[in-house]
Amino acid sequence: MPKDTFFNLPEEKRTRVEEAAIDEFASYTYETASVNRIVDGAGIAKGSFYQYFKDKKDLYKHIMNIIIQKKLEYMSPTITNPFEVDVFTLLREMYKSGLSFALSHPKLLEIGNKLLLDPSHDIYKEIMEENKARSDEVFLLILKAAKDRGEIREEIDLEMASYLLTNLNIAVSDYYMKKSEKHEYSKDMMKTIDKFIDFIQYGMTNTKGGD
Amino acid sequence: MPKDTFFNLPEEKRTRVEEAAIDEFASYTYETASVNRIVDGAGIAKGSFYQYFKDKKDLYKHIMNIIIQKKLEYMSPTITNPFEVDVFTLLREMYKSGLSFALSHPKLLEIGNKLLLDPSHDIYKEIMEENKARSDEVFLLILKAAKDRGEIREEIDLEMASYLLTNLNIAVSDYYMKKSEKHEYSKDMMKTIDKFIDFIQYGMTNTKGGD
DNA sequence: ATAAAATATGACTAAGAAGTCACATGACTT
DNA sequence: AAGTCATGTGACTTCTTAGTCATATTTTAT
C-alpha cells in the first residue's frame, strides 16, 4: 500500500505519477522497469517517490490494484449472475468484457499480460495470493455448473479446459489488438468474439457427427 | 555467431558454457540474464567469455539455434509429409512432438517461451526474422490445405485459428509440465494430447447438431 | 630452443540501478 | 511571528551490470 502522503497528493499530481508508472510497466517488465525513468516521466524528485511508496514493489502492486479495479468495472454487469445463463452466452459476455477492457486500456492489458507470462518470479505469486480469484479457477466453477446442466460434453476435462480458456482469453485480445489499429468497440470486435466462441463451442471439424 | 575460439574449445568446456547459459536464460529473461552469473556458473573468466562471443546477444542467439535444432530433431518425422494426412492426425503428431520435446528439454522450452511471450522487445523480432517459419505461419499453411480438402468447417477464420493453435500449443505444454512431475513420455501424456485435439476438433458443446 | 600465434585472465571502466538522507520549502497551528 | 509538522529535493551510497584491455599463459610452428 502506498503511504498516506501519496493519497494526500492533489489529484493531478497523483495521476501524473500513476500514468508515468503505467507507461513504464507497460514498456518494461517489473524487473527491468526503472524508478529513475518513472520519476523523470512524472516530473518528481527521486526522494519524493520514496515519500509516496515504500519501494518499487509497492508502486507495482498499487498499479496492479488499479488494473484489477478497472477490469472489475468492465466485468461486473456480466458476472453478477454467472450461473443463470448458458455457458457459451456467459463466455461470450466474458470475452466481450475482456476485449472491451483491452481496447480501452491497452497499456493496462499489457502490464497484466507481462505479469501472467512470468509466473516463475516471486512477484507473480505474491500478487496472485493477494488477489485470490485466478481466472482459471473462475472458469472451472463456471464449467462445472455447465457440465451439471449438460451443456458441455461429459468427456471434456474441465481443469484443462479452464486452463485453456484462460490462455485463449489472453490470446484473443492480443490477436485483435494486433489486427486492429482503431481500438474502438466495433462490429469487427463482435465478429472476432463470435468466431472465437464458435471455435470453442463446435471445434474445427466439418464431420459434425464424426468420431 | 560465436567466434571460432568457441568452436575450437574442447567439447567438455564448450558444453559447460552452453549449459550455464541455458540455466541462466531459463531462469531469467534476456534482459535480466547476467553474463557474470553465466561465467561463474561455467567456471570461466569474464574475459574468456568475450573471446568466445561478441556480446550477450551473440550467446543468446547461439542458444536459440540449439533450441531450434533440437526441436527440429523431434519434429522431423512428423513434418516430412505434412499434407498427406488429415489435419487432426497431423496436429496430434505435432503436439505430440512438442510435448515430447518439452518433457525432454524443459529448460529449452522455458527459454523459448520466455522469448515468445515478449514480442515487443527487439530481440524477438531479430530472432524471428532470422528463423523465418513462425509457428502460426506453418499452421496457416496446414489449415488452408485442410480446408481445401473439406476437413474443417468453411466458416472457420484460418488466420485466427492458426494464431490460437500456436498459443494453445504453448499452453498445453505448460499445463502438462505443471501437472506432471515425472517428466517422462507416458500414457498420461497421450491422454493429455487426445483431450486437447478432441477439444480443437469438436469443441465443448454437447448439442452435436446445434447452432 | 625460439619465436609466434592463440587463448586465458581478472582488475578495470562507465553506466545504470534501488534506495537513503540531510536539508529546504511550504503550510497550518497557536 | 514562531513553531511544528508534512512534503519536496537531489546528491549520495552501494550494488550490479556489459564490455574492455593489458598482461600472462599455453599451444603450435619453425
B80 has pLDDT over 80: no
Say yes or no: Cβ of A19 under 7 A from any atom of strand C.
no
DSSP characters for B172-201?
HHHHHHHH-SS-S--HHHHHHHHHHHHHHH
At A152, phi and psi to the nearest 5?
-125, 155
Give the CA A21 to C1' C25 distance in Å: 26
Cβ contact B199–A164 (<8 Å): yes
Residue from A35, A66, A64, A32 nearest A52 by CA: A35
Q: What single DSSP character describes residue A152?
A: B
C-alpha neighbours within 13 Å on the C-beta side of residue A118 = 26
Compare all CA atoms of chain A with the CA of B136 and give the residue at the minimum distance.
A175
Domain boundaries, chain A: 56-202
pTM of the model: 0.90
Q: Is B129 exposed, middle or buried (0-12, 13-18, 19+ CB in 10 A)?
A: exposed
For residue B205, give the 3-state DSSP assignment: strand
Contacts of residue B89, defined as CB under 8 A and 6 or more positions apart, other chains included, come to none
Query: What gap in Å lies between CA A67 and CA A101, rounded to an integer?
Result: 10
Chain D: nucleotides below 7 Å from protein CB are: 6-12, 16-22
Radius of gyration of chain A (CA): 20
Placement of cell 488477489 in the chain: A131
Cβ contact A201–B203 (<8 Å): yes
Distance between first and last Cα of chain B? 55
Note the pLDDT tens digit of each residue in B14-59.
999 999 999 999 999 999 999 999 999 999 999 999 999 999 999 9
Query: What gap in Å lies between CA A156 and CA B200, rounded to an integer?
Result: 11
Query: Vertex A87, ends A209 and B189: CA angle to 5°?
Result: 60
**Structure confidence at residue A184 (pLDDT):** 57
Give the CA B55 to C1' D28 distance in Å: 28
B210 has pLDDT over 50: no
Q: For residue A23, name the pLDDT band (cuts at 50, 70, 90).
A: very high
**Structure confidence at residue A80 (pLDDT):** 76
Query: What gap in Å lies between CA B54 and CA A119, rounded to an integer?
Result: 31
Give the CA B2 to C1' D29 distance in Å: 26
Query: Which window residues (72-131, chain A) lie with Cβ within 7 Å of strand C?
Result: none
> Which residue of B159, B177, B204, B206 to mutate against A (max A Cβ within 10 Å)?
B204
User: Residue A161: which of B156, B199, B211 has the nearest Cβ?
Assistant: B199
Query: What gap in Å lies between CA B6 and CA B2, rounded to an integer?
Result: 6
Percent of chain A scoring above 90 in pLDDT:
52
Q: Where are the alpha helices (DSSP H) in chain A?
A: 4-8, 11-27, 35-42, 46-52, 56-79, 87-104, 106-116, 122-130, 135-148, 158-179, 187-202
Contact A5, A52 (CB under 8 A): yes
**CATH 1.10.357.10 is the classification of domain A56-202:** yes
For residue B124, give the 3-state DSSP assignment: helix
Query: Which window residues (47-66, chain A) lie with Cβ within 7 Å of strand D?
Result: 47-48, 50-52
Q: For residue B143, name the pLDDT band (cuts at 50, 70, 90).
A: very high
Contacts of residue B31, defined as CB under 8 A and 6 or more positions apart, other chains included, come to A29, A31, A32, B121
Query: What gap in Å lies between CA A65 and CA A127, rounded to an integer?
Result: 9
Q: Which nucleotide is nearest to A45 (CA to C1')?
A: D9
Contact A188, B160 (CB under 8 A): no
At B34, phi and psi to the nearest 5?
-115, 125
Query: Which window residues (46-65, chain B) lie with Cβ within 7 Å of strand D?
Result: 46-47, 49-50, 55-57
Q: What is the mean pLDDT of residues A28-34?
A: 95
Q: What is the mean pLDDT of residues A147-164?
A: 90
Q: For residue B121, name the pLDDT band (cuts at 50, 70, 90).
A: confident
B181 has pLDDT over 70: no
Q: Is B125 exposed, middle or buried (0-12, 13-18, 19+ CB in 10 A)?
A: exposed
**Structure confidence at residue B67 (pLDDT):** 97
Cell numbers found for residue B92: 496430434
B61 has pLDDT over 80: yes
Q: For residue B169, name the pLDDT band (cuts at 50, 70, 90).
A: confident
Neighbours of A159 (CB within 10 A): 15
User: Residue A205: which of B32, B171, B201 has the nearest Cβ?
Assistant: B201
Which of chain B's residues have a Cβ under 8 Å away from the Cβ of A205? 88, 151-153, 201-202
